Amino acid sequence: MKPFDATGAFRPSSEGVRRLAVRGAAVTVFGQGLALTVQIIATVVLARLLTPGDFGVVTMVTTFSLLLMNFGVNGFTEAVIQLERIDDAIASNLFWINLAAGVVLTIGFAAAGSLLAWFYRDARVASVTFGISPTIFITSTSVLHLALLKRAMRFSVVSANDILARAVSVTVSIFLAWAGWKYWALVAGVLALPLITSIGAWELCRWVPRPPRRVPGTASVVRFAMHVYGQFSVNYFARNTDNLLVGWRFNAQALGVYKKAYDLFALSVSQLVSPLTAVAVSALSQFRRDSVQYRRYLLSTLGVMAFVGMGVGADLTLVGKDIIRLLLGPRWEESGRIFAFFGPGIGIMLLYTTHGWIHLSIGRADRWFRWSVVEFVFTGLLFILGLHWGPAGVALAWTASFWLLTIPAFWYAAKPLRLGVFPVIAAVWKYVLASLLAGCASGLIVREAGALYASYGPRAAFVRIVSTSALFGALYLSAVILFHRGCDPLRLVAGLMREIFPRSRSTKPFIPVPSISGPMGAKPASAGQGAVSALTGS
């Protein structure tokens, strides 16, 4: 793609926004499904080749490096996507600003290795820090190219590039781990990821930035980007203070075990919400001047997210221990015990994360940043309280924070729209109740099931996962249909599927219209971070 014409103007797509958004969401989710397959393979193989301590020492470093890697990924990406107009000159200025920041941050992080080693009381951290530091600069070289592809809604090629980079990264790590490189195998994989991503981005977006020059509007775009990155930074610290505390209070072994439980906890966001953010913000930004259309699509989207999220969250709560036992092996048994405290927060975490779509799509990154400060303080206090009970107590603090913050977060985000929080509650409460009842009923049935559910071994774990998920799925769908007095939620999802995969070019787009009562339609480690999670648990 050549994003700018001879005059320097951006070339927008001529297709309909809604169709591009839905197709983009489909491609992105499909791509994330493939990426999840790669991640599962990496997790299964590397968990058997390496120790929890190997994962832990790399996580100690990536807890900080990922924040710096995302300096432009979270900030300039959203700025490019939501701008009403962007030209070659402004994009070039943003590229050079981001690249300069990448150089400074890379040098600073490499020099901080000894300080991190002192903090964690682990000499290995210093050398790992130096080895991972180039990822910051490499990532900065592709931020603007990927952002322009997303602005043009070329989500299919972005997803393909991401999958390729993950596959190469995982292959490098597995080969080196098999060769006996220990935690250096993970470091090599972390380096390979942004390198392949950047090469692919430059190949897919045929754009060479012009030399920087003074252009009106650059400063305002940078301010917007800094607000977004400020929000991301505060949110990142809120979501990684647990790593910091567990690694500092205990050791690399405990951190490695804790992070594998957290990875499964955060899977729904990394595989569903995060990749859909660019799609949702791109689409909603087109309707921010039309309050009726904006409200319709926002509430419909959140209704679908609640339907999927609450079901996935409750099911993972029931089968999470067995998934960890089956995939990682017996040495990770403690991760399964910790996950039991994460499970009840999965569904509500998925919903909570989407409130940022509102802030970004209406151009109010400043409000998002202010809310993130509140979230950071509140969640940090819960972490400190939970630390007394070990990693399991920190996991419980995560769950409590999402349940307590979700309603206030949506109230604050929707205030400029005068939407109110009650439409959001009306969109999700039936799914919350349905998942709670179906989950409790499934748990009771499983407990009384007898010897099959008390036996150990991979085969028994697999049977429990399949049978429990099938039981919960049947009960959950029945409860949803009962509470909605019909199959409207199922028809909505089926309609979206028909639009994503139409039978012919003449297929009419399915447009969900929320009912007055709003049963269905009424309603944070970022580029590369999911793959890093596969390797390091970050």
Per-residue pLDDT in tens (0 to 9) along the chain, 538 residues: 777 766 666 765 555 555 666 666 666 667 767 777 887 788 788 888 988 889 889 989 998 999 899 888 888 888 888 777 888 888 899 999 999 999 999 999 999 999 999 998 889 999 999 999 999 999 999 999 999 988 887 878 888 898 899 999 999 999 999 999 999 999 999 999 999 999 999 999 888 898 988 888 888 888 888 888 887 887 787 778 888 888 888 878 888 889 888 887 887 666 666 656 666 776 777 777 767 778 777 887 788 888 888 998 899 888 888 888 888 877 788 888 898 889 888 889 888 888 888 887 887 878 888 888 888 889 889 999 998 888 899 999 999 999 999 999 999 988 888 788 888 888 888 999 999 999 999 988 887 766 555 566 777 788 888 999 999 999 999 999 998 888 887 877 776 656 544 544 443 333 333 332 333 333 333 334 443 443 444 4
What's the CA gap between 383 and 386, in Å, rounded? 5
CB atoms within 10 A of CB 178: 12
Tell me the one-letter amino acid at 26.
A
φ, ψ for residue 479, nearest 5 deg = -65, -40
CB of 284 closer than 8 Å to CB of 78: no
What's the CA gap between 4 and 167, in Å, rounded? 31
With b meaning 16 or more CB within 10 Å and e meaning fewer, what string describes 447-460? Answer: eeeeeebeeeeeeb
Paired with 408 in beta bridges are: none
Question: What domain range is 272 assigned to?
Answer: 31-502+509-524
CB of 351 closer than 8 Å to CB of 407: no
Residue 19 pLDDT = 61
Residue 270 inside a domain? The answer is yes
What's the CA gap between 35 and 435, in Å, rounded? 27
CB of 151 closer than 8 Å to CB of 9: no
Residue 367 inside a domain? The answer is yes
- Which residues, other chains included, contact 536 with Cβ-Cβ below 8 Å and sequence gap of 6+? 55, 58, 59, 62, 186, 190, 259
CB of 146 closer than 8 Å to CB of 158: yes
Residue 36 inside a domain? The answer is yes
CB of 144 closer than 8 Å to CB of 80: yes
Give the largest CA-CA distance in the chain: 73
CB of 492 closer than 8 Å to CB of 483: no
Does the predicted TM-score (pTM) go above 0.85?
A: no
pLDDT single digits (tens) 167-198? 999 999 999 999 999 999 999 999 999 999 99
What's the CA gap between 351 and 353, in Å, rounded? 6
Residue 119 inside a domain? The answer is yes
Tokens 């994962």 sit at which residue?
A: 55
Query: Quick check: helix, strand or coil at residue 124?
Result: helix
Paired with 9 in beta bridges are: 87
Closest CA to 8 of 88, 91, 90, 93: 88
Paired with 10 in beta bridges are: 4
What's the CA gap between 456 and 432, in Å, rounded? 32
With b meaning 16 or more CB within 10 Å and e meaning fewer, what string describes 279-296? Answer: bbbbbbbbbbeeeeebbb
What's the CA gap between 366 and 378, in Å, rounded? 19
Residue 415 gets which letter from DSSP?
G
What's the CA gap between 362 and 358, in Å, rounded? 6
CB of 463 closer than 8 Å to CB of 457: no
pLDDT single digits (tens) 398-449? 999 999 999 999 999 888 887 888 888 888 889 999 999 999 999 888 877 6
CB of 197 closer than 8 Å to CB of 161: yes
Alpha-carbon torsion (82, 87, 91, 93), positive or negative:
negative
Residue 18 inside a domain? The answer is no
**Tally of domains within the chain:** 1
Tell me the two tokens of residue 46: 């590397």
Closest CA to 424 of 415, 368, 115: 415
Residue 2 inside a domain? The answer is no
